[in-house]
Chain A
């Protein structure tokens, strides 16, 4: 047996994984299979988007965590012996992938940004970032199946084709996990997706108070842009939602203009803006690393500079 498997619980992510999964399966001369969490309608969807087979995991009891699916998935993987298993690099996807890789005792390439199949040597060569984004690491997995997590939006969603046929089957019920979920707190609202924004104004820790976000918003408005932020703003201060965190552990953006205010420009952040056409920054420290990564930089206090920028932009 063989095949390329994708494991996903969200529609969009499964279609993204199917895109690259199907391409690789074709190159490798094998089939593509999707392992989904109990959604029949979604299963048909995956078939029309390229899955030859869909395996459905039955629903979980209320306090069971996603992890209780690991034993069933691992059993199925041992039987099916896939060449490659792909998951999304979201918090849950990364956790499930690591536990599954540990259970199967195989390699896992985390936050993989590119996968190529070398037909000569019949190996999968994968790329990821290392050293906070300062380096590109090329790796191969030495055990079967190879595994990788792929950041959301690395690939477009697969194109549907009518008339595709696929086999849909149910997997055994999940087992019971030692850990229990006693409460679920759902995020109040999903933040606007900025991965396709044309202009991004990024707020860093140089911002002193949460109320001061107003001036960042005014600046964003003046350049018709969206607000993004660094990791400390989202995860330590919680001033903005995590979806707006740009960088290695957040999202990649590729705007025409990135304008950082009070952002130091550590490599983990800058790696998320490398595809911006123009990078500009305001920082009061002339030695801040952001200036080495910028096309245009203003050395100055953001509280002085931003209002001036807004009025100049309005002219």
Chain B
């Protein structure tokens, strides 16, 4: 029975970030979510499980608050989860996250066939945890995949490259990062959410891990980039449409 691992990140929902008075970021009313494309990774793990009887495992590194995300992942059809949590894990760089994942996958998950990651996290979108994890584990990495299937001891993937698409074969185990068009993530129902509470989660704390590596990329500032626009509204009757077109002409942006 194959084992498929989906890695995900519990991230700030960027739609709730506001611009602070001095151009700083106002996180005071934010909500959290599983990163957009990580939901595709989770869905693909569950899809492979349904197609081949695989076991689907989810792994995440994050703050203790990410427990909600673990439950969310389990309610999406994942069988069991590994939750690596510490209050200092909110600002790891991709190399640190990849090293922690490597350590946990290597020491706790005896056998696996495929590791799935989203093409990038919704917050920092550095698009590197997958390739770095594959390199550390010494397994092939296939990025930007839009179609995936498992054969006996290899996988077949269609990946996006500059000129179009390449169809790739890779021996297992292998790591795959997925694009949003690979599937449509399901929306868990009430029953799924109830079931999620009964599924096993292994919690791993910082003390269980070797000392944290230094970040390779250091953030020196984060400022808001929100732009100010005049936000004028128009209706749909003839006069309003004429006023709208008139406004564009007045700005000199159309002939």
Contact = CB atoms under 8 A, between A and B. Distances in A.
A90 B127 CA distance: 12
B244 A137 contact: no
B215 A142 contact: yes
B136 interface: yes
Contacts of A166: none
Interface stretch (B42-50, B73-81, B106-114, B167-175): B167-175
Contact of A295 (B15, B162, B230): B230
Contact of A91 (B160, B225, B226, B252): B160
Contact of A313 (B227, B234, B245): B245
Interface string A164-205: 000000000000011111111111000000000001000000
A109 B226 CA distance: 22
B104 interface: no
Nearest to B223: A136
Interface residues of A, number: 90
Please tell me the size bucket of the interface on B: 35 or more
Contacts of A293: 227, 229
A92 B162 contact: yes
Contacts of A142: 214-218
A267 B15 contact: yes
B142 interface: yes
Given A92-B162, A107-B217, A308-B238, A291 B231 contact: yes
Contacts, number: 252
Contacts of B124: 130-131, 137
Contacts of B221: 136-138
Given A136-B223, A295-B232, A298-B240, A280 B248 contact: yes
Contact of A312 (B171, B231, B245): B245
Nearest to A308: B241
B187 interface: no
B248 A296 contact: yes
Contacts of B242: 312
B97 interface: no
A34 B149 CA distance: 38
A235 B181 contact: yes
B223 A135 contact: yes
B144 interface: yes
A299 B253 CA distance: 21
B54 interface: no
Nearest to A198: B253
Interface string B156-172: 10011111111111110
A298 B244 contact: yes
A68 to B, nearest CB: 11
A110 to B, nearest CB: 5
A207 interface: no
A74 to B, nearest CB: 10
A299 to B, nearest CB: 6
A58 interface: no
A52 to B, nearest CB: 27
Interface of B: 12, 14-15, 17, 25, 93-95, 98, 120, 122-128, 130-132, 134-136, 140-144, 156, 159-171, 174, 179-181, 214-227, 229-236, 238, 240-242, 244-245, 247-248, 251-255
